[in-house]
Chain A
Amino acid sequence: MTEIDLRRRACIVGAFEHPTRKAPDKTSAQLHAECARGALEDAGLTLSDVDGYFCAVDTPGLGAIDMAEYLGLNPRHMDTTELGGASYLSHVSHSVQAIAANKCDVALITLAGRPRSAGGGIGATGPYISPDTPDLPWERPYGWAPAPMYALAAMRHMHEFGTTSAQLAAVRVAASLHAQYNPNAMLQTPVTVEEVLASPMISDPLHKLDCCVISDGGGALIVARPEIARSLARPVVNVLGAGEAYKGYLRGQVDVSWSAAALSGPRAFAAAGVSPQDIQYASLYDSFTIAVIMQLEDLGFCAKGEGGRFVEEGNLIAGQGRLPFNTDGGGLCNNHPEHRGGITKVIEAVRQLRGEANREVQVPGCTLAVASGLGGMIGGRHATSTLILERE
């Protein structure tokens, strides 16, 4: 059965990325609240306008309950969808559904956390994996962690498609070229392929510079019905389509050559009624460089196996490539708050569509963008959430 047409039924009217990358003197709840304040100011709305609240497990307390209290919200619709780093893209999608169903008019989405101040190394996960997670007895004793799990996919990708370490490094290079124009980026110095390859090997074939940053901070989004969006002073960004998917061990028929984005992407494009060729800017989840190459293939920007060459040809670099990506510097260089890049993917796509990206990396006349989120581990079990966004 075809989906109900939800195109342009809700708009992203507020977007805020917390400028902090290290917040030793703030609580997680405070960061959530500062993000909410920033997004409402950006939208030109106030706290009393919010009647829907969306959050994931990074909220301190019990789902939406404790942050609703802390923020002073009076929501008539709440949603604590938890899909790891993909959660916040799904929150956008679910808020469109809620607005279309008249469950709320103005939805607030928040993400925040402070893993950098709290400690924890490369590829650390959040503290909220329940000890009775059923997969863990057959994962944890083997040293299961994000870096080696992404590395299993990278190693197989190299074996099947001839992808090289230099091609993986080219993802980082493109992100770093963009980050140099972002004064809030954690790492603002451009790097070369040689520097990526010379950085310490973390988990073969992923070097240190194939891994994203660990940062404190967060972000917030406001989604509202179109009548409200058009009454505000900001450019209108429509949610055109959305798709979600899960992929894991395939019941033991493991195939790590593709990600759940191969399912969520086509669902989002079908809902939006556009094709990958129409997209002018892409926010791609970049916890590790291999994730970007696989999303490029799985979302249909190049053929399966061609992702490495697509990147190597410079296609991700603003001002020269066919598909500028992560023009804020992404998780690789700018920000990966609470080990979760989902909300920053949406925020930078909104900036591009509004024409408010940093001048040197703004895509001229950007009217159609994709934001792709991933939660979990691409070489293991994970969820993806894909959004197609449009400048009205």
Chain B
Amino acid sequence: MTTPYQDRPLPGPMLDTSTTPFFEAAKEGRLMIARCTQCRQPHWYPRPLCPYCLGDTAWETASGRGTVYSYSVARRMGPVPYAMAYVRLEEGVTMLTNIVDADLDTIHIDQPVEVTFKPMEDGWMMPMFRPVEGQTDAA
């Protein structure tokens, strides 16, 4: 069985003062995470106040590399199937995302993936992840 990835229309992002820097960076091909300026912990999803200590946070560019922590191919939740996933980033946080540009039936836990960006309405972009070609799973 194969389930080819298909693009699906993505509404524009929900923009406010907390989210706009993230989506401006995504437009430029960068995945941003937030890290606390006080306790130095990164967290996900990004917030202006740190969920460990309520200190102020700052944006930083993530490597965009990670591994699949869990996934599910949603087969009847919309016009086309899509692969919901949690990806563990090298920076040590795990984010909800989609796995794209792959046969969705080959996705598996611990699979190495890298960030890519898929178009939303009005020229905005959403970070998603695709398998890293030729790389074997982490031990």
Contacts and interface: CB of A to CB of B under 8 A. Distances in A.
Given A251-B51, A254-B69, A254-B86, A143 B74 contact: yes
A144 B76 CA distance: 13
Nearest to B16: A132
A143 B97 contact: no
B52 A251 contact: yes
Given A156-B70, A201-B75, A252-B44, 9 more contacts: A134-B18, A137-B14, A142-B97, A148-B77, A154-B72, A155-B109, A159-B109, A202-B75, A251-B51
Contacts of B42: 252
A138 interface: yes
Interface residues of B, number: 43
B14 A148 contact: no
The 3 closest A-B pairs by CB, nearest first: A252-B93, A252-B44, A151-B72
A61 interface: no
Contact of A251 (B44, B71, B78, B88): B44
Given A138-B96, A203-B84, A155 B71 contact: yes
Interface string B15-34: 01011001000000000000
Contacts of B95: 138, 252
Contacts of A145: 74, 77
B30 to A, nearest CB: 15
A223 to B, nearest CB: 35
A379 B98 contact: no
A152 interface: yes
Contacts of B93: 251-253
B10 interface: yes
B31 to A, nearest CB: 11
A152 B70 contact: yes
A137 B19 contact: yes
Contacts of A142: 82, 84, 96-98, 126, 128
A322 B51 CA distance: 42
B71 A152 contact: yes
A69 to B, nearest CB: 35
Nearest to A156: B70
Given A136-B14, A137-B19, A202-B77, A252 B43 contact: yes
A154 B47 CA distance: 28
Nearest to B104: A204
Contacts of A379: 70
Given A136-B14, A152-B84, A251 B70 contact: no
B76 A202 contact: yes
A156 B84 CA distance: 13
Contacts of B98: 142-143
Contacts of A153: 70
